[in-house]
């Protein structure tokens, strides 16, 4: 769906749900996933429908993914790094409540 402009940037590799993807240095995580054909980044907490990036400028929160174990990250606002581990964000983030021992 998306094709890259000719770009001399160096290649970095990262992990997406167990697969190894190539990206160009300086890509946002969102751009890197789109370039690899991933369109659905998350499912919504409200209806469970699949969603992908819409605004790509940090406003819409449609591109949420889990990065290196941290949920609800905005893929369009974070630069991809070598060996980053990215997963889809499924529904709402779980938060541990406080438990007194």
Partner 1 sequence: MRCDGYDVVVIGAGLVGGAIACGLARAGQRVAVLDEEDAAYRASRGNFGLVWVQGKGVGRPEYARWSRASSERWFDLSEALVEDCGLAPCYARPGGVVPALSDDELSDLDSMLAGLGQAAGNAGYEYEILDRSRIRELLPACGPEVAGGTWTPYDGQANPLKLMRGLHASLVARGADYLSGARADGIQPLPGGGFTVRTARGAISGNKVVIAAGHGSKALGAMVGLDVPVHPEHGQILVTERVAPLLDHPTLNIRQTDEGSLLLGASQEDRGFDTSVLARTSRDIAHRAVRVFPCVAALRVVRTWGALRVMTPDGFPIYDQSKAHPGAFVFTCHSGVTLAANHALEASRWVIEGRIPEEMACFSTDRFDVSQAA
The structure tokens 């890197």 sit at 32
- Cα separation, 75 vs 40, whole angstroms: 12
Inter-residue contact 19 to 7 (CB < 8 Å)? no
Is 49 near partner 1 (CB under 8 A)? Answer: no
If binding is defined by CB under 8 A, does position 93 make contact with partner 1? yes
Task: Locate 95 and state its tokens.
Answer: 């938060």
Using the rule CB under 8 A, give the single segment among 11-19, 20-28, 80-88, 89-97 that binds partner 1: 89-97
Q: Considering beta carbons, is residue 6 or 98 the nearer one to partner 1?
A: 98
* Interface with partner 1 (CB under 8 A): 45-46, 61, 72, 91-100
């Amino acid at each position: 769906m998306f094709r890259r402009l000719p770009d001399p940037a160096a290649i970095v590799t990262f992990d997406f749900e167990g697969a190894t993807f190539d990206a160009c240095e300086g890509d946002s995580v969102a751009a890197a996933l789109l370039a690899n054909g991933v369109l659905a980044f998350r499912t919504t907490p409200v209806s469970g429908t699949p969603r992908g990036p819409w605004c790509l400028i940090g406003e819409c929160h449609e591109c949420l993914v889990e990065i290196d174990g941290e949920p609800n990250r905005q893929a369009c606002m974070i630069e991809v790094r070598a060996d980053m581990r990215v997963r889809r964000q499924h529904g709402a983030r779980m938060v541990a409540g406080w438990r007194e021992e």
